[in-house]
Each structure stands twice: as structure tokens, then as C-alpha cells.
Amino acid sequence: LAAAVVADPGAVAVVCGGRSLTYRELDEASNRLARVLLAAGVGAESVVAVAVARSVESVVSVWAVAKTGAAFLPVDPQYPAGRVEHMLVDSGVVVGVTLSQFRDRLPGSVRWVVLDDAVTVSRLLSVSAGVVSDVDRGASVRVGQAAYVIYTSGSTGLPKGVVVTHRGLANVVAEQRSRFGVGVGARVLQCASPSFDASVFELVWAVGLGGRLVVVPPTVYGGEELARILVGEGVTHAVLTPTALSSVDPAGLGALGALVVAGEACPPELVARWAPGRRMFNAYGPTEATIMSNASDVLVVGESVTVGGPVRGFGELVLDARLRPVPFGAAGELYLSGPGLARGYRNRAGLTSGRFVADPFGVPGERMYRTGDVVRWRERPGGGPVLEYVGR
């Protein structure tokens, strides 16, 4: 994550609600904050909470944490106090980044760097904006280290912190480049809540590949407000849930050339509305699989909507209850394997071993993740197997 593509320093890197930062300004601001965090004892394998709503500051904060070699933990300041407390204690956070408007809602058990506090502002201006090196960090950032921790919804119990590595993110960025396309001149929407891993997908899709990140203010959820941003900012790339996408009228959005739907089942009628005139994809992936494990080919109106085949970094098997492959076309549980898998659950060794199991089809030491999702293989039009989602 820390190794972003070198872009034109004067090009706009991030814009939100009339505010913007160039690549040079983003680099310098995140370098300064990284130095403040390093002085606070942050380093490899430590976790830094980022309790900032979707904004320019949230982007600067995430990039700063990446430069320290630590992992960032996104915390939605609007979450119930009990959930926030659980995430902070369970993950072992000792330092967090926030803004004064959120500080009173956050637990005092964590030392908070309040970005717009006068003392913090003075401190940030007093440190170098130069490149943060391994000398500053005291160690190299390695691909197997934790890049971020994302907590699950907790719908089946207490929320669990999924630890994702830089290796997994490297696969995501490579897949984004080859499948969805982005680069200088691209304008990528950031509409996901920072507490969901889709926000990481959006961030690295843009800034990690030299494009512009168009951050949607946290008060905008969809509909005409979102459409105005898409048009006004000339957004070219977006990933949205089918629910959010269905609230927007596609008329006048010709600049939006690459569209990814994810997070929910995509109905055929949504493809019929949005696919003509653009490249539209359906993506799938649990948090434990570094955001995305599957992506469809370009969706075609009138054809079945599937989640496609595995993206780079993943192997996939459809197994029965005894871990035996089911016949082609039969329903079974999806198991994922490969370097794209997350490390496991933060401080939950027992739970990790129960969901990240030994791969009986791989070399010794390799793991599979039990998704809990029921799928079946089917033939793609034109040849090649793809996965059809059946349910949980």
C-alpha cells in the first residue's frame, strides 16, 4: 500500500466537497503525520485507529499509517460506543487519529492525535515533509506484514478483526489494473464507508495507480445527490452496491466507463439499465479474501449474472461437507486458497484455525478459507467455468 505509483506531483490526487490535494500535497501531509505517529511509538504490526469520516483527512490518515509500516483500523465515529470500544480493545490500538468533531464520542482508553487541534497542527508543521524511509521506520515494510484490520459486521456474534497483508493488496492492485483499467486521468469514486473494505478497494484503485479519488461527503448516500457528484466530477470508475446503484439514474453519466457492482446480488434488470455503453462487472469477495476473490467478465444484457472466476491470488474449490469436490454444476460450499487470503482474525487463534483450515489439495502448510457461501460451477458463454452464487 505504501508503494503508490509515482504520479505527476501537481495532479489532483483527492477531491471532496470542493477541497482537493495534489499528489505532492497528499505526500507531504501524510509524511508529516507519519512522523508524528512514529514518534508516538507506532510501527510494524501495531494498529492505528482512523476514526475519521469519509473526507480528505481520512485519505491522508490512511496513507500516513501505511507509511509508518503499521496497520490501520478504520472506525466509523457514528458507530455505537460499545462497538467502537470493542474494536479498539480487541485490536490492541494504542494510538488513533481523529478530528475534534468526533473526539468526544471516542473512548479515552486510546491516545488520540486530533488533526485539527492547535497543538497537533503546530506539531505537524514542525516535522519534515520529506520521504519517510526505512531509517525513519526503523525497519523495512514487508509484504507479509499487516496492512489493515477490518472488523466484520458482528451479525453472527462479536465483530471479528480480519488482518489483511500488503501481499493481498498487491494482488488487488494488479487485478484492478488489468481487469478494470485505471491510470492518469481516471477519476475513481469513493462512496463506501471507511469501515468497509470496499473503501480500501476505492483508495488503491485511484491513488495507488495514479488516478484521482473523488470522495463522496459522508452525508451523501445515493440518488440525485450522488448523481450530481458523478456528473460534476466526471467520475470514470466506480464500485457500488446494487442498492446504491439502483437509486441513481444512468442518464447523463457517459463518463462512467467502468462500473463494478459488489456486496449484494446484482439483479438482471440492473444490468439492463447500466451495462449499455460501459464496461460493467460483478465482483465478489469476503473480507477474509482481501476485498475481492472473484470478478465477472464484462456483463452482457440478457445473460446470466455470475460472480465470474477467481482473480489473481486465489484458487477456488466447491466442496461438500466432507471436503470432497462436488460434481460440476452441483451446489457446494466455496473454499478459497492462495496468497490473497487474509492472515486471520486479530487475537483469535481458535476462530482463525476453524475458518482458515489446512488445504488437503495443496502443499503442506497451505490454507483454505471456508466462506460459508454456497455456489455452483457453470459454463461461461464462450467457454470456461464461472461461479454462480446460490446463498449462505
- pLDDT tens series, the chain, 392 aa: 444 455 688 999 999 999 999 999 999 999 999 999 999 999 999 999 999 999 999 999 999 999 999 999 999 988 899 999 999 999 999 899 999 999 999 999 899 999 999 999 999 999 999 999 999 999 898 999 999 999 987 666 688 999 999 999 999 999 998 898 777 789 999 999 988 999 999 999 998 778 999 999 999 989 999 999 999 999 999 999 999 999 999 999 999 999 999 999 999 999 999 999 999 999 999 999 999 999 999 999 999 999 999 999 999 999 999 999 999 999 999 999 999 999 999 999 999 999 999 999 988 889 999 999 999 999 887 777 999 999 88
Instruction: Tell me which residue range forms the domain holding 41.
Output: 25-128
Last residue of a domain, one of 128, 161, 184: 128
Q: What is the CATH number of the domain that holds 346?
A: 2.30.38.10
Q: Judge whether 37 lies within some domain.
A: yes
CB of 133 closer than 8 Å to CB of 35: no
Q: What is the pLDDT of residue 156?
A: 63
Q: What is the pLDDT of residue 182?
A: 75
| Count of structural domains within the chain | 2
Q: What is the pLDDT of residue 6?
A: 55
Q: What is the pLDDT of residue 153?
A: 77
Last residue of a domain, one of 77, 96, 128: 128
Longest CA–CA span in the chain (Å) reads 65
Last residue of a domain, one of 128, 148, 182: 128
Q: What is the pLDDT of residue 155?
A: 64
Q: Judge whether 329 lies within some domain.
A: yes
CB of 192 closer than 8 Å to CB of 198: yes
Q: Judge whether 116 lies within some domain.
A: yes
CB of 248 closer than 8 Å to CB of 273: no
Q: Judge whether 300 lies within some domain.
A: no
Nearby residues of 139 by Cβ (< 8 Å), 6 or more positions away: 43, 44, 69
Strand partners, 19: 16
Buried b or exposed e, range 224-241, using 16+ CB within 10 angstroms: eebbebbeebebbbbbbb
Q: What is the pLDDT of residue 362?
A: 86
Q: Judge whether 282 lies within some domain.
A: no
What's the Cα-to-Cα distance from 88 to each of 36, 37, 50, 95, 206, rounded to whole Å? 20, 17, 11, 10, 28
Inter-helix orientation angle 23-39/118-126, to 10°: 100
Q: What is the CATH number of the domain that holds 51?
A: 3.40.50.980
Q: Judge whether 247 lies within some domain.
A: no
Q: Judge whether 94 lies within some domain.
A: yes
Q: Judge whether 372 lies within some domain.
A: yes
Q: Residue 328 burial (CB < 10 Å; 0-12/13-18/19+)?
A: exposed
Q: What is the pLDDT of residue 210?
A: 86
